A and B are shown apart, each in its own frame.
Chain A
């Protein structure tokens, strides 16, 4: 039986990818950003997940305004890095797990979540930067990936509660897959940041740290947080944090914090990264 053993969240700031791709990760500005992932790289090297269910948002790369799925699951054999205006990131193609992904799609839809099934999509920095942060610069990624894309660009995104419930449904879907697989679930994006308007540059450390605390101490409170609170407190782009609740919902009722990293700034953004052990 497949099982979800751990959850990881991380910001996916584009500038992190640029710094990494240009070998600037040892610079004074970037070193503290990357140092917070060293523990995780050692840990994940020992954990050796077979599959990562990677919850991220497409930043107007695969999905334009022509088509805006609230929740989509990638069922393809592989996903190419997207050209976001300056050529694709120089990283390997992302290898999917179509058999598990299709199983999950069926299970989750029959569980009353109306997922969009995607058989062809390029993946942008939202998905590839977390892979770089966890696995460095391999020739091929050492895991297969089932991408779950969440709309957080067109208002309204799904509620935090709905995201959490999707996570619960993902857990049921994975646990009903017959093959013995070690599956991680990642939530990406956040933390506080605003990339537009006169309020650009907003950072709310107090909000972010409370959010990180509540992932283990009181996820029920996070489920009830309305969009307006994210927008006011964590910035217009801070609403990406609803995706972390998909991750949290998939870990079961109890989760244990194994590692935490918080750093300001990564470009315009408060970088947050946490590793959680799932319920047994």
Chain B
């Protein structure tokens, strides 16, 4: 995006900067398009009858959706990092882990590579410091 709009707020957002944040996937148009059916599958779990059908046969239920194999494998493995790499969004994926009886903390922790004990301790100690997590190219 250029600065042609002058100093209007937001006009300085360069979409390439969104991929400069370490360990972060911003839900851009491109990712939304890629993850469309993965995310819509997750939405379907808001209905109890769909949850029951999914739990009774996960693979068969997934096969009703035009998702790619990597997306289906990510769901079956509850691999949320892989699901996000395939265009999943955390608020859609929440329908999946909440229907499993898991929490946002369980899901977030699972993507960090930390144990649940270490993650919980980090949060109790004030969370992850932004130092070193702001920019890849600027190393800050």
Contact = CB atoms under 8 A, between A and B. Distances in A.
Interface string B1-43: 0000000111011100110011111111100100010011011
A47 interface: no
B51 interface: yes
A190 to B, nearest CB: 14
Interface residues of B, number: 63
Interface string A68-89: 0000000000000011111100
B128 A199 contact: yes
A162 B10 CA distance: 10
A272 interface: no
A1 interface: no
B21 A199 contact: yes
Nearest to A58: B91
Contacts of B94: 14, 59-60, 84-85
B21 A60 contact: no
Contact of B112 (A61, A192, A201, A226): A201
B71 interface: no
Given A156-B13, A201-B122, A60 B27 contact: no
Contacts of B99: 85-86
A274 interface: no
Contact of B98 (A13, A84, A200): A84
B126 A203 contact: yes
Given A87-B48, A202-B128, A265-B127, A155 B18 contact: yes
Given A59-B94, A202-B133, A194 B39 contact: no
Interface string B43-66: 101111001000000000000000
B135 to A, nearest CB: 7
A232 B26 CA distance: 11
A236 interface: yes
B26 A236 contact: yes
B84 A197 contact: yes
B2 to A, nearest CB: 14
B75 interface: no
A82 B46 contact: yes
B9 A224 contact: yes
Interface string A29-70: 000000000000000000000000000000111001110000
A228 B18 contact: yes
B92 A155 contact: no
Interface in A84-141: 84-87
B111 interface: yes
Nearest to A199: B23
Interface in B59-117: 80-81, 84, 89-92, 94-99, 101, 103-105, 107-109, 111-113
A227 interface: yes
A85 B98 contact: yes
B130 interface: yes
Given A14-B104, A83-B48, A268-B123, A64 B39 contact: yes
A257 interface: no
Contact of B17 (A162, A194, A199, A228): A228
11 contacts: A64-B43, A66-B40, A82-B46, A86-B99, A198-B22, A198-B112, A200-B108, A202-B128, A231-B21, A232-B21, A233-B134
Q: Which 3 A-B pairs have the closest CB atoms?
A: A203-B127, A198-B23, A199-B23
